[in-house]
Structure 1
Amino acid sequence: MDVSGKTAIITGGASGIGEALVRAMAAAGAQVVIADLNGDAAQALADEVGGLGLACNVTQEADIQAVVAETEKRFGPVDVFVSNAGLGRGEPSHAASASDKVWQLNWDVHVMSHVYAARAVLPAMIERGDGYLVNMASAAGLLSQIGDAAYSATKHAAVSFAESLAIAHGPDGVKVSVICPQYVATPLIGLSAEDAANTPALRTPEQVAQTVMEGIAEERFLILPHEEVAQFVNMRAMDRERWLQGMRGLRAKALREFGELKLTEFYKLM
């Protein structure tokens, strides 16, 4: 899809990958709506790029419905919905040690927000025979994130839901992409662009946004900002036992080098 002249909503759009996507889409000629938990930051970015900024808690379906309604009121049909908001909390000790509250928050942000977005825009897209859903997942949704079982489980679910959307609604003219990056220097993990300098395993939000824009232009389902993830996925599929053993070794290495499973440090081991 050529996004020039299209209307795009981006959730989690006021910082990190979302902000980079806002800037990239605005530069490509899209009318961008920035939906973010931080409404002031969303509006400030909107003022900068000539878009619309709205406060939105993606765990609340009514908020997403309100963003879509306001977008349609201002600009007409939603052509592209980028469901990008995310979080990472880690786990205190064993793989089931995160609280029910943390598990539920991961589910609501990483899965239900995509469901709410689809409910809000799919009927009109199907009726028009055109539209694009872009869902942020993670390489953890294809592999696993050591030290954060809730994140990994819900990102797997996000990939699965994107596949369901593509299977069911590709024939309706609705395009679907799922983004699965590895480590990105964003506020989510407390890293900056400076941290990514000369570190091949760490991408900047701008690099990810460029890859996403290329994927949207080509209407690719699976967008991999880290190309090596495809190789890891193939290795996992070919020999799950060997892959699990390798992941156990990586976990042990992290504990030896860092003394704990620090999510902000894992990229140094890649």
Structure 2
Amino acid sequence: MDIKGSVAIVTGGGSGLGAATARALAARGAKVGVIDLNEANAKSVADEIGGLACVCNVADEAAATAAIAAVEKAHGAPRILINCAGIGGSHRIVGKQGPYPLDAFVRVINVNLIGTFNMIRLFAARALTMPPQGEERGVIVNTASVAAFEGQIGQAAYSASKGGVVGMTLPIARDLAQHAIRVNTIAPGLFLTPLLMGLSEEVRASLGAQVPFPSRLGEPPEYAALAVHIVENPMLNGETIRLDGAIRMQPR
């Protein structure tokens, strides 16, 4: 997919991995719709890159439909979707307060898994109606996590949600192949996102030291560089790529 002149949507684009990817796509000539629940963050990134900010809960069908329509009205029909929206959360299955709160589990699944699927299906429905650009009509890049493979204690919901993203990548890629739409997933390891920015410098250094090489936290532009490559490389399809410095997470 030629990024220059294409329209892209980045969910979770107001910060972290999403913001870095929105900037990288814009730097290569894309018009970017920055979707985020945080209006101020979305607007800040969109203003910086000449894109459009949309406030949206990705798990809400009406809100996601409206956001895609707003991006199309402003910039044209999107051909690139980068799903970075996601939340965390940690609970023991049975803790001091009792069993894992079911509403907390459902919330993580709704945002990380159902939200990702919701954006995929709505984006694909629009993309398949467009004429191909060269060989393809569209490209989708999802965000999983190494927790999909080595979830730690307390990460049952997060691991389940990210494992679901990994698990649906290949069947969706096979489903959309007939429409010339590619689907891939990136599974990052320990990255310097807003979640980790709230930790002390000492704790961040300790986490980075767990990474075999390079022994540091990943930088969001490194995620963005891989997302850009996936968009530009037509033979990458149906794949989940770990981006983790060879780390394999321990139980805690």
Three-state SS of the structure 1 residue aligned to 2:140 is strand
After TM superposition, the structure 1 stretch with the greater mean CA deviation from structure 2, 10-19 or 113-122, is 113-122
Pair 1:187-2:194 in alignment:
yes
1:57 aligned residue: 57
Alignment map for 1:219-258 (pairs within 5 Å) = 219=234, 220=236, 221-226=239-244, 228=246, 250-251=250-251, 254=252
Q: Where do 5+ consecutive residues of structure 2 fail to align?
A: 210-214
The structure 2 residue matched to 1:115, chosen from 113, 117, 120, is: 117
The structure 2 residue matched to 1:216, chosen from 227, 231, 234, is: 231
RMSD: 2.4
Paired residues, what number? 234
Three-state SS of the structure 1 residue aligned to 2:47 is helix
Pair 1:161-2:176 in alignment:
no
Deviation at 1:124, TM superposition (A): 2.5
Question: Structure 1, residues 162-189: CA drift from partner, whole Å, max 9, x if none?
Answer: 2221111123200111110111111123
Three-state SS of the structure 1 residue aligned to 2:33 is strand
Pair 1:206-2:208 in alignment:
no
Cα distance between partner residues in 2 of 1:23 and 1:114? 21
1:177 aligned residue: 184
1:235 aligned residue: none
2:90 aligned residue: 90
Question: Structure 1, residues 104-143: CA drift from partner, whole Å, max 9, x if none?
Answer: 1111111111221122121232233511111111112233
Cα distance between partner residues in 1 of 2:99 and 2:145? 22
Deviation at 1:191, TM superposition (A): 5.0
Cα distance between partner residues in 1 of 2:36 and 2:54? 7
**AA in 2 matched with 1:148:** Q
Aligned pair in 2 of structure 1 residues 183, 146: CA closer, same or farther (>3 Å)?
farther
| TM-score normalised by L of structure 2 | 0.84
Aligned pair in 2 of structure 1 residues 92, 146: CA closer, same or farther (>3 Å)?
closer
Alignment map for 1:35-46 (pairs within 5 Å) = 35-46=35-46
Cα distance between partner residues in 2 of 1:153 and 1:97? 17
Query: 2:169–2:240: 8 Å Cα contact kept in structure 1?
Result: no
Three-state SS of the structure 1 residue aligned to 2:184 is strand
2:212 aligned residue: none
Question: Structure 1, residues 198-243: CA drift from partner, whole Å, max 9, x if none?
Answer: 74252011222122222322242323222526xx6xxxxxxxxxxx
Query: 1:8–1:80: 8 Å Cα contact kept in structure 2?
Result: yes
Aligned pair in 2 of structure 1 residues 154, 213: CA closer, same or farther (>3 Å)?
same
Cα distance between partner residues in 1 of 2:242 and 2:153? 19
Cα distance between partner residues in 2 of 1:168 and 1:6? 23
Deviation at 1:196, TM superposition (A): 6.4
Three-state SS of the structure 1 residue aligned to 2:8 is strand
Relative contact order higher in (CA < 8 Å, ≥ 6 apart):
2
**AA in 1 matched with 2:222:** Q
Cα distance between partner residues in 1 of 2:62 and 2:205? 37
Identical pairs, percent: 32
| TM-score normalised by L of structure 1 | 0.79
1:149 aligned residue: 156
Deviation at 1:97, TM superposition (A): 4.0
